[in-house]
Structure 1
């Protein structure tokens, strides 16, 4: 029985750890012991992260280092907004480094990091928290299946 190799349409179940260059953990599926499930090309991962998975087999473990441009890109100054303190609920504690969820017009939520608070002005950064960072992407492939095709 041949092992299934990850291709452009594979369904993949994997554990991953995302670490920064200093070794600190940024994200991990092992924390709650819930592996990630994705279909290659579904947008769950960036094309560069997906490229790391191509050709890997069930049971394989591998580590990749992705530089900022390959991982989450560089910070976009257009994603940094200055908001009036009154836009935040009175019960919300606003402090530098806090990550808050902001509702979008379509009802979805986007995380924003509080970068600074000066009087009534709050600076919120909507760039990905790992933007500008080199990351180490450790993967363990648990299962690989051909993607199910809609008939």
Structure 2
């Protein structure tokens, strides 16, 4: 074991749980293998990462994370209406279906169908957790210098 605390350029092994304010669980490692990440590598949003700084092995903490420190506020401009003809006839469209699009740089951009008619499809490109206050629980298992 290490006596290092969580900080920049540290490899951190941890258990975490992420819940919505109503208590519904989004993700958790407490019932499976812990996660390992390198601080500053982009694995966690900065707002979550900053909460871990200074924690030592064995620490178990709970945090309430505001939308702006998590996945951002919902942006109405990220909801787009497109002609249904833009979608191939082989694509089964219904509300709640997640589709993959390419942005201008060619990167994958997921979107969720939120409404459709015979001529129009509305797709929400906001992160599914955008606009939500989240409950973040973490238990630090190990901290090592990053490789």
**TM-score w.r.t. length of structure 2:** 0.87
Q: Distance in 2 between matches of 1:29 and 1:101?
A: 27
Q: Distance in 1 between matches of 2:63 and 2:124?
A: 27
Q: Distance in 2 between matches of 1:101 and 1:34?
A: 29
SS at match of 1:86: helix
In the TM superposition, residue 57 of structure 1 has moved relative to its aligned partner by 1.6
Q: Distance in 1 between matches of 2:23 and 2:14?
A: 21
SS at match of 1:69: helix
- Return closer, same or farther for 1:75/1:47 CA change in 2, 3 Å cut-off: same
Deviation string 1:11-55 (CA, Å, 9 cap, x unpaired) is 112221110000011222356x24332211111212211111111
SS at match of 1:95: coil
Supply the RMSD in Å over aligned alpha carbons. Answer: 2.0
SS at match of 1:5: coil
| Aligned residue in 2 for 1:35 | 34
Q: Distance in 1 between matches of 2:15 and 2:129?
A: 19
SS at match of 2:77: helix
SS at match of 1:131: coil
Aligned residue-pair number: 147
Q: Distance in 2 between matches of 1:12 and 1:40?
A: 7
Q: Distance in 1 between matches of 2:52 and 2:146?
A: 15
| Aligned residue in 2 for 1:5 | 5
| Aligned residue in 1 for 2:18 | 18
In the TM superposition, residue 92 of structure 1 has moved relative to its aligned partner by 2.6
- Return closer, same or farther for 1:120/1:36 CA change in 2, 3 Å cut-off: farther
| Aligned residue in 2 for 1:124 | 123
**TM-score w.r.t. length of structure 1:** 0.85
Deviation string 1:79-104 (CA, Å, 9 cap, x unpaired) is 22112222323233222222222234
